[in-house]
Structure 1
Amino acid sequence: MALNRSELVAAVAEKSGNSQAAVNGVLDAVFEVFTEQVSQGEKVTIPGWLAVERTERAARTGRNPQTGETIQIPAGYSVKLSAGSKLKAAASK
């Protein structure tokens, strides 16, 4: 079972005693900060919970699955999410 955004907002609002609108605004702001920092190459760390960072991907040779033709895939960036110790411990219960 997956928790979607509206369910997450409702659960956090209930646990925190804040309105869903307030929680939604805070969640928007958190993701905006993540986006800004990661796009600048900065790592965002919430100790015990998670870390988000931009990673570099080297240029490589690939293959078009439809034609089998070899293609060059340019270098680029990706995002890496790492679980912290508290999140890992919760997953092992």
Structure 2
Amino acid sequence: MAAELAETHGMTKKQAEAVLGDLVTMTTKRLKKGEKVRFTGLGTLEVRKRPARMGRNPATGEAIKIKASKKVAFRVAKELKETV
């Protein structure tokens, strides 16, 4: 992607890689703050909380408690979904 971005926008591959790296860094910071991150035409990233729950150890069948956690969820934009 960096090479294609560089060619399209007349920059070096190294500059394009820096832009993509900055995008990842900014996205991570916003997700850590609990903000949603929307990429128009692509989709939305957001942190969702998963509550604590009971599960089973598949090897022994023993009931175990699974701690509450957070996960990053991605919802695909309607435009992309219809295109693919």
- Does TM, normalized by the shorter one, top 0.5? yes
Whole-Å separation in 2 of the counterparts to 1:16 and 1:90: 24
Whole-Å separation in 2 of the counterparts to 1:64 and 1:22: 48
After superposition, residues 1-93 of structure 1 pair within 5 angstroms as: 8-91=1-84
Q: What runs of 5+ residues in structure 1 fail to find an aligned partner?
A: 1-7
Q: TM-score, normalised by structure 2?
A: 0.88
How many pairs align?
84
Q: What runs of 5+ residues in structure 2 fail to find an aligned partner?
A: none
Q: CA deviation at 1:16?
A: 2.2
Whole-Å separation in 1 of the counterparts to 2:82 and 2:10: 26
Q: CA deviation at 1:45?
A: 1.1
Whole-Å separation in 2 of the counterparts to 1:18 and 1:89: 32
% same residue: 35
Q: CA deviation at 1:83?
A: 1.3
Q: 2:47 corresponds to which letter in structure 1?
A: R
Q: TM-score, normalised by structure 1?
A: 0.81
Deviation digits for residues 31-67 of structure 1 (CA, Å, limit 9, x no counterpart): 1111111111110112332111000101111111122
Whole-Å separation in 2 of the counterparts to 1:26 and 1:47: 17
What's the C-alpha RMSD, in Å, of the aligned pairs?
1.3
